[in-house]
Structure formats: structure tokens, C-alpha cells
Amino acid sequence: MGGLGRAVVVGVAVALLVAPACRPQGPQRITIKGTATLDGEPIELGYATFVPTDPAVGATGGQIVNGVFSVAAFKGPHRVEITSPKLKRLSGGSDAGEYEVIRANILPSRYNAKTTLSFDLQSAKDQPKFELVSDAKGK
């Protein structure tokens, strides 16, 4: 490759490295840790989705394990959806546990598809606490 060809390759490489630093920064995600319970007991396994009210930024979520979740979401108000599958441990499964999904979601729709949950995220110190009540207990 000639001197001009090398110069072009080097110029393109430098442009690719510098270009991301020149882009304007968009909304920043804030990582928070929260809890989710059902009828006072930690949700064993589930998913918490934070949907910003601002349509310009996307939804984000995190897995719930033993009632605790961590999520990197955008600052501001969110609609929150929480789901939790009903699982059955498979016999002969590994120590890590192999499960079969019996039902996709055991939580009432007011916590997911027709959610009434919300959270206004302002800082990394925020710790959302979602205390859900099953249909049987809520009546």
C-alpha cells in the first residue's frame, strides 16, 4: 500500500476513534437497586421493566432474584411492569436447578399488562420498593 493509501487508512481510523467523543450526550442512565414482594414474601424470580413516560428514551429492566433487582434506567417518571413466572423444578435437574415454566406470569395484570405501578427516578440513592398483593389477598 502506498503512502497515500496508508494516510487514508490512518485518517479513517483516527476519525472512528474521535467521532464518539464528539457526539452530544443523551439522557444518562442511573443504576438503582430495589425490592419486590408478593403478599409480604420476596418474589423468587421475575423481571422489573421501567418504561419512561418520555417516548424519546427506551424501556429498560432487570431480573428479580429473591426479591431484589437492579436496573439502569433514565432519570424521570416511569411506568413499572413486574412479571414473575410459575416454575416447576425438573426432577433430575442439575444443582443449579432446571425448571419448566408452568405459567408465563403469576402476578395480576395490574402489575404488568395493565400496570398501576409507577416510580419517579431522581438519583442513584433511590430504592424502589414494590409491595404487591395477589388477587386472592387483594379482595
pLDDT tens-digit readout, 89-113: 666 655 556 667 667 788 999 999 9
Is the pLDDT assigned to residue 63 strictly greater than 50? yes
Average pLDDT over residues 22-40: 84
Report the CATH fold assignment for 26-138.
Answer: Immunoglobulin-like (2.60.40)
Residue 29 CA to residue 31 CA, distance in Å, equals 7
The pLDDT value recorded for residue 47 is: 95
What distances in angstroms separate CA 57 from CA 28, 42, 62, one per listed residue? 10, 30, 17
Quote the distance between the C-alpha of residue 104 and its chain's center.
Answer: 18
- Label the pairing between strands 129-132 and 29-38: parallel
Confidence of residue 55 (pLDDT cuts 50, 70, 90): confident
Is the pLDDT assigned to residue 17 strictly greater than 70? no
Quote the pTM value: 0.72
The pLDDT value recorded for residue 1 is: 54
The pLDDT value recorded for residue 10 is: 47
The pLDDT value recorded for residue 8 is: 46
